[in-house]
Amino acid sequence: MKKSITLFFLLAVISLVSSQSAVTNKQKASIQKDSIKKSKKAIEIEEKKMDSLVAVLGVFKPFKKAAHASYYADKFNGRRTTSGAKFDNNKYTAAHKKLPFGTKVRVTNEKNGKWVVVEITDRGPFVKSREIDLSKRAFMDITSNRGSGGMLVTIEVLNN
């Protein structure tokens, strides 16, 4: 989270500096001060949103590190899952062999730190080396290599 905030702040400052080349020095100083204040406010708002998200979702308890994750093939779209829900590759859902249906799980890509919160709605994967099957949307949101069908992730279970 800190990396993304720092990156956002850095990009905001860079874009302001490059777009103000025709502005006078006095205006430039005034604009930079104002934009830094606005950037700080935006960062504070983002931090508050994340804090409230954690408050709503609760605390995540580590479940498994270096787990192999894959994603559902498109052919499963529209079929019924083991829990009885209709599968949709555009939702944030997952299949796990043992976790109860309805469990909220945070899945973090170990290479880039991106994460998603998914709900367990199905059983599987039925490949011995895989720990969790994500919906295509959840998988694509956290992957760094769009061409691959698997990645190493950390799985954390919501502890209510």
Q: What is the structure's pLDDT at 140?
A: 93
Mean pLDDT of 109-115: 93
**And the tokens for 18?**
């490059």
Alpha helix (H) residue ranges in 63-108? none
Tens-digit pLDDT profile for residues 18-77:
555 544 555 555 556 566 666 666 666 665 555 556 545 568 889 999 999 999 988 999
Count helices and strands (H / E) in the chain.
Answer: 3, 6
CA atoms of 149 and 31, how far apart (whole Å): 46
**And the tokens for 128?**
């011995």
Domain ranges of the chain: 2-56, 58-159
Q: What pTM does this model have? A: 0.64
Tens-digit pLDDT profile for residues 122-146:
999 999 999 999 999 999 999 988 8
Return the CATH number of 58-159, one of 3.20.20.210, 2.40.40.10, 3.30.465.10, 2.40.50.140: 2.40.40.10
Q: Return the bridge partners of 70, or none.
A: 133, 150
Task: Match 């199905």 to its residue by tokens.
Answer: 122
Q: What is the structure's pLDDT at 113?
A: 92
Tens-digit pLDDT profile for residues 142-158:
998 887 889 999 999 98
Establish whether the linkage from the previous residue to 125 is cis, with ω within 30° of 0. Answer: yes
Q: What is the structure's pLDDT at 39?
A: 67
Average predicted confidence (pLDDT) for the chain: 80
Q: What is the structure's pLDDT at 60?
A: 84
Using the predicted structure, report yes or no on whether residue 82 has a pLDDT greater than 50: yes
Q: Return the bridge partners of 153, or none.
A: 67, 109
39 alpha-carbon distance from chain centroid? 22
Contact between 110 and 48 (Cβ < 8 Å): no
